[in-house]
Every structure is written in C-alpha cells, then in structure tokens.
Structure 1
C-alpha cells in the first residue's frame, strides 16, 4: 500500500468498505484486514483512527443509527396514510446494510460490549428504529389518526420485530406489498 497519500474521509472510506465486506461475505469475514484491503489502504489507517476493531465497528453502528431520518417520519404525521408512512419508514430502516449490521451486532460479543459501554442496550439499530416509530405513532395518536388509547411503544416493537423477521428472512428484500400487509394488520388493530 502506498504511504503518504492523504485520504479525503478515511472514516467514511473504511465504513463503506466494511459495509461492502459485510454484505458480500457476512459478519464472519469482517476483519480489520478485510476492511483495509477492501478500502485499499494500509492496515495502520484503521488503527490510526480507531482504538481497535470493535471500536471501529461500534462507530460504524453509531454512524448508521445517526442516518435514521426520525424527523422526516415525524413530519409525515397527519399526511398520507399511517400505513403508507410506516411502510416507507420500515422499508427505509431495513435496507440490506441495516439487516447486515443487526446480524453483525448479534454475532460479535466485543461489539455488543462496546455498544453497552456507549450506553446502548439490546440491538441499537432496532431500538432506535423502534423509538422513531413510537414517536411517529404518538404524533398520529395526538392527531386522532390512531386510537387515543393505542400503546405506541408496543405497536412500534411489533412493527420492528415483524419487519425484521420479514427482511432478514430471505436473500432478497420483501416486496412492498408484504411490508404493507404487516403494517396494515398492526395499524388496523390500533385504530
């Protein structure tokens, strides 16, 4: 690997490389060497920016959680239909990278420990998505578009769990109609 070549955004370059390895080869193949080879950088680049590989993976997870667009979903409250808004949100949350990251978190004990140290419990991406859905449902409840007594936290967990099973269950993402069917069943019981 050449030395002395400045990298524009080494963190993002390494994150993108990790995602490609994760999607192509799975969590078992995700090593610091695989990431730096995929990014075409020296192995030292990763260790210059992160304390160790689990710190790198924890930052990757935190970065991807930060990309969830909670405000966009919340702003959609009162527009369109609740089912359409939730279907779009769940389809966005459970892209291939997110599904792979959930698998990675469950696969690596050191990563889970690092995420717990950062104050995140459980599977952080799923927990954040659940909170996002619950906040949206609370806004819809306040607007009278779902029942006033709807338990938005339980509805959010139901939607996240069901969607995760649907998206993680195959080699290709489910059709939108499949996601909509689950959302409609849950939302119908909330209205």
Structure 2
C-alpha cells in the first residue's frame, strides 16, 4: 500500500496484522516493523497512532479480550439449558482456539507490556483472568438454578478449568486437543463439585 494512502480503520488493520503474526510466528516475531509490513503500510503509521510499540500491544490485547464479551454473554445465557459439561467445554474451546492462547505467552514475554496491562488488570494474566471470570459467572448462575450443588464454589472451579484447558491448548505448534479430550477434562474438574454418587449434568 502506498505510504501516502490513508488507511481505513488503521488501528484494526494493525491489530489484525499483529494477530496474524502472533498466530503464525509466535510472540518473538512481533515487532513494529513486522506489524506494519504485514499490514502493508509505512512503519511511521503505527507510531502516529500509538505512543510506542508496547502501547500498541497493550491496546491490541485489550481489543482481543473485549471480543470475548459476546461469548461470555452467550455462555451466561445458556445457564439452565443443555448440559453444564457441554456448555463449559464449548466455551473453553472457543477461548483457547482463538488468538487468546497466543496472547498469554506474549504477555509473559514482554515485561513492559505486563506493566501497561496492570493498569487494567491488577492481578492475573489477561485472557486467563477474563476466562475465569466468565466461567465463574456462568457456574454461579447454574448453582443458583440448582444444577450445581449449593455448596459448589465457582470461584475455585473456574480457575481450575481455565488452567487445565490452558495446559491442553498451550502447545501452539502441536495438534490441538479434540473435543473428547476437552470434555473429559471438564467432566473431571467438575466432578469435585458433586457428591460421590452424583454426576455433572
């Protein structure tokens, strides 16, 4: 793209370029030059819209995490329907098959990026924290509906599920786990919420 041509929705074009690089080549390949080359624009375009590259990355991470909000609303709306195991399995698969799993190593890879994100996320790792909050809200709703025991603890179950799912999906270069593997993990993690003779519904 010629340097003098104005980019439509330049921020989103740069974010989309960053996502493609992150998914294809990993966090170490994510540089300002790589992003602008991928987006087909001059390097100066990025710096006209962001104070520096870490400011760009912080906004990129926030933008991608905000895209989880419709998914969180859908999961919460599913409370009381289907099965809890299937609902959680589908939600975790959607989170970790997206760019979310690649954002986690990006955040851990760059100290300055973590510092910028601490302004919004004072604790935990973005994406993982948000996924846990999404599941906590859903499991709390299912408990209120009586589909989880009254003494179930969504605040403990949710991070357990997110952590276990992250382990399944963490190898970006390997074969992603199939639905059966994710479902077995969810069933196992949720089984602790039930009495010995009960099964997750």
Same fold, TM-score > 0.5, yes or no? yes
Q: 1:25: Cα distance to partner?
A: 1.4
**Deviation larger for 40-49 or 130-139:** 40-49
Q: 1:122: Cα distance to partner?
A: 2.1
- Count of aligned positions: 191
Q: For 1:143, which of 142, 145, 169 is the aligned residue?
A: 145
CA distance in structure 2 between the aligned counterparts of 1:44 and 1:117, rounded to whole angstroms: 26
1:46-61 → structure 2 map (5 Å cutoff):
46-61=46-61
1:134-173 → structure 2 map (5 Å cutoff):
134-169=136-171, 171-173=174-176
The structure with the largest helix share of the pair is 1
CA distance in structure 2 between the aligned counterparts of 1:172 and 1:41, rounded to whole angstroms: 33
- Does residue 1:29 correspond to 2:29, yes or no? yes
Match of 2:189 in 1: 186
Q: 1:97: Cα distance to partner?
A: 1.3
Q: 1:96: Cα distance to partner?
A: 4.4
Q: 1:119: Cα distance to partner?
A: 4.0
1:22-101 → structure 2 map (5 Å cutoff):
22-68=22-68, 69-101=71-103
Spell out, residue by residue over 1:94-119, the C-alpha distance to the aligned partner (whole angstroms, 9 max, x if none): 12411111110011101001101234
Pair 1:120–1:13, CA change in 2 (3 A): farther
RMSD, aligned α-carbons? 1.2
1:162–1:182 CA contact under 8 A, matched in 2? yes
Structure 2: segments with no counterpart, 5+ residues: 195-201
1:115–1:121 CA contact under 8 A, matched in 2? no
1:18–1:30 CA contact under 8 A, matched in 2? yes
Question: What TM-score does the superposition give when structure 1 sets the normalisation length?
Answer: 0.96
Question: What TM-score does the superposition give when structure 2 sets the normalisation length?
Answer: 0.91
Match of 1:125 in 2: 127
Match of 2:179 in 1: 176
Spell out, residue by residue over 1:132-175, the C-alpha distance to the aligned partner (whole angstroms, 9 max, x if none): 00000000000000110111011001000000000003522210
CA distance in structure 2 between the aligned counterparts of 1:180 and 1:188, rounded to whole angstroms: 12
CA distance in structure 1 between the aligned counterparts of 2:65 and 2:13, rounded to whole angstroms: 17
